[in-house]
Amino acid sequence: MVTTDDPNGREPAAQGAQATRVHGRAQQHAGGDLTEELLTSDWWTDAMVQHAGIPIVDVPLVSVGGGIGSFVTVDYLRIAGVAPDHIRVLSNIDFPWQTYEYLTRVSQIPRGERIRSDSASRPDNIWGFPSYALAEAVHDRTLGPLWQVLVEPIWADYYTPRAGQVFAGLEREAKRIGFPQMVVNGQVRMVRRRQGGGYFTILTPPSDAPPSDAQPTQRVAYRSSFVHLAVGYPGLRFLPELQEFRTEHHDFHHVVSAYEDHEHVYNLARTKHVVVMLRGGGIVASRVLQRLMDDREKFGLSTQIVHLFRTYVSGSHGPNAWNRRKGGNGFAYQGFNYPKSVWGGQLKSRMRKLEGDDRARAYKLMGGTNTPFRRRWQAQMRAGREAGWYRTMSGTVKQMRLADGMVISEVETAEGLIEVAADFVIDCTGLEADIAEHRVLADLFEHSGAGRNPLGRLDVERDFQLRGADSGTGVIYASGATTLGGYFPGVDTFLGLQIAAQEIADDLARRGFCGRIGTLRSTAQWLRWAFGRAP
């Protein structure tokens, strides 16, 4: 067996009950960076890491990412009785909703606007009670939100909480469970299996970081039995013609992504007449469209909007009379990004049994770009169509060029090639990059036995264990967008992240790492939540 530097001679990565412990410079021999031996070896020994001069921190579990996925997983584990010093969250952000808040803000959901998910999807409350609607009703002393959930979606749109309410709840829960104390800032470079069991997770601390678990160094190795990966989206991918345009013209001004800050478009529209071309038919396109339409109304602007759909939906669609989705004027309509039964109904149980191509086909059937049907948006678009300032078209862009400060898009339509001139093109297609573009995931594919699921993302078991990456008694779990295509479809949602967290906590309870969240613990813990007491 490999020697360890644990003073008690125990095997650190397999214990699960040992709190954070630092093994510093005493064991170091080299410059504290990755060596050729480490870079090329699938399995690392403690001696290899020590020889490289990289300080080792022992902690039973690390969560990589630090966003909403890490947060809800840590929340479950804290409620299941895990002490804060048994968990480290390795992250390049300062608070869990930072990336989410950035993406929602730039895609036109500032704190005062309502997000997409429902009243009970509370990432700050594993019980979903009180729901956001109840909390808002009590806070604002109004019955409005409760009435809305009662009559939705027939007589009212689905109730959804304001982004600000979600962030305030997350902040409160983060404080309650001691989340900030578990976060170590830095960039995770890789996770490698350890000979003897468990893993090494290599963190590159920020160059100006004050010493935290270890002394300032180029790298720190976290030696743990369990690793949880929740790294969010691997990155943005632009449609080829948009990418070509941006690269050729070095122009990040006229052609923008809805996931980038593009406030200059709205600012310019307030000073002069502009034509904006929108691309995409999902919720982000609806949001950007709403902002353009709101500003038009609020400031009396003359903005013209040309909305291009690649797949134009003109009515209800689906394989049969029972399996249809509403649609019209280009959009496919659906309250949430998946049918509700994905989170706990028939569809959830059917998906758990599907493998390979059958699963891929099921995803194709229920997926696809869609947006909620909201009465306000419908009224605004109708007004725009009637007055002629909002036009839709269907087609594929073949080429884009710049002429007299305008972006000319050559669009191939059923009627032939049409040229559309616009001051700005806002891309709301939101294509995600391949997960192998994420360095940590690429490394897992290459060195740690991880594989791809039928949709090409990380292949996880029903309890979110990363298939093929076991190391002795150690396990890697993964949740979020990187696992889309697995046995549970709603992974990239608050509720989906919580369902994954629950599966992970149950599996860790079976392994003796934490307690089980049964009826008694759950009731007692809810009371602690309600009174703001630590778990």
Ligand X SMILES: Cc1cc2nc3c(=O)[nH]c(=O)nc-3n(C[C@H](O)[C@H](O)[C@H](O)COP(=O)(O)OP(=O)(O)OC[C@H]3O[C@@H](n4cnc5c(N)ncnc54)[C@H](O)[C@@H]3O)c2cc1C
To ligand X, the closest distance from the beta carbon of 436 in angstroms equals: 13
How many residues lie near ligand X (CB under 6 A)?
31
To ligand X, the closest distance from the beta carbon of 241 in angstroms equals: 23
To ligand X, the closest distance from the beta carbon of 49 in angstroms equals: 19
C-alpha span between 423 and 337 (Å, rounded): 31
Indicate which single residue of 133, 137, 231, 289 sits in contact with ligand X (rule: CB under 6 A): 231
Based on CB atoms, which residue is closest to ligand X, 52 or 440?
440
Indicate which single residue of 15, 45, 63, 104 sits in contact with ligand X (rule: CB under 6 A): 104
C-alpha span between 302 and 276 (Å, rounded): 11
Task: Name the nearest CA neighbour of 475 among 443, 433, 530, 512.
Answer: 512
Do residues 164 and 111 make contact, with C-beta atoms less than 8 angstroms apart?
yes
Q: Which stretch binds ligand X (CB under 6 A): 111-119, 140-148, 239-247, 463-471?
A: 111-119
C-alpha span between 113 and 283 (Å, rounded): 13
C-alpha span between 323 and 341 (Å, rounded): 13
Residue 459 contacts ligand X per CB under 6 A = no
Q: Which stretch binds ligand X (CB under 6 A): 92-100, 131-139, 243-251, 301-309?
A: 92-100
| Helix (H), strand (E), coil (C) string for 238-259 | CCHHHHHHHHHHCCCCCEEECC
Q: Which stretch binds ligand X (CB under 6 A): 23-31, 102-110, 350-358, 400-408?
A: 102-110
Quick one: tokens of 307? 């909305």
Indicate which single residue of 34, 82, 89, 93 sits in contact with ligand X (rule: CB under 6 A): 93
Q: Classify residue 114 by its DSSP letter.
A: B
- Give how far Cα 57 sits from Cα of 37, 94, 179, 188, 197, Å: 20, 21, 19, 14, 15
- Over the window 312 to 351, marking each residue x when it contacts ligand X by CB under 6 A and - when it does not, the resulting string is ----------------------------------------
Based on CB atoms, which residue is closest to ligand X, 104 or 148?
104
Q: Which stretch binds ligand X (CB under 6 A): 12-20, 115-123, 141-149, 308-316?
A: 115-123
- Over the window 45 to 84, marking each residue x when it contacts ligand X by CB under 6 A and - when it does not, the resulting string is --------------------xxxxxx--------------
Task: Name the nearest CA neighbour of 273 among 294, 291, 292.
Answer: 292
To ligand X, the closest distance from the beta carbon of 470 in angstroms equals: 22
Q: Among residue numbers 483 through 512, which ones bind ligand X (CB under 6 A)?
A: 492-494, 497
- Over the window 425 to 454, marking each residue x when it contacts ligand X by CB under 6 A and - when it does not, the resulting string is ---------------x--------------
Q: Which stretch binds ligand X (CB under 6 A): 193-201, 228-236, 385-393, 522-530?
A: 228-236
Q: Among residue numbers 186 through 225, which ones bind ligand X (CB under 6 A)?
A: 187-188
Q: Which stretch binds ligand X (CB under 6 A): 15-23, 99-107, 326-334, 344-352?
A: 99-107
Q: With H, G, I as helix, E, B as strand and everything else as coil, classify residue 62.
A: strand
Do residues 331 and 394 make contact, with C-beta atoms less than 8 angstroms apart?
no
Which residue, chain included where needed, has tokens 């160094």? 217
Do residues 75 and 174 make contact, with C-beta atoms less than 8 angstroms apart?
no
Which helix H or strand E contains 61, and what residues bound it? strand 61-65
Based on CB atoms, which residue is closest to ligand X, 190 or 514?
190
Q: What is the DSSP string of 418-479?
A: EEEEESEEEE---EEPPGGGSHHHHHHHHHS---B-TTSSB-B-TT-BBTT--BTTBEEEE-
C-alpha span between 465 and 506 (Å, rounded): 12
Indicate which single residue of 420, 481, 500, 504 sits in contact with ligand X (rule: CB under 6 A): 481
Contact residues for ligand X (CB under 6 A)? Answer: 65-70, 90-93, 99-100, 103-104, 107, 115-117, 121, 187-188, 230-232, 440, 480-481, 492-494, 497
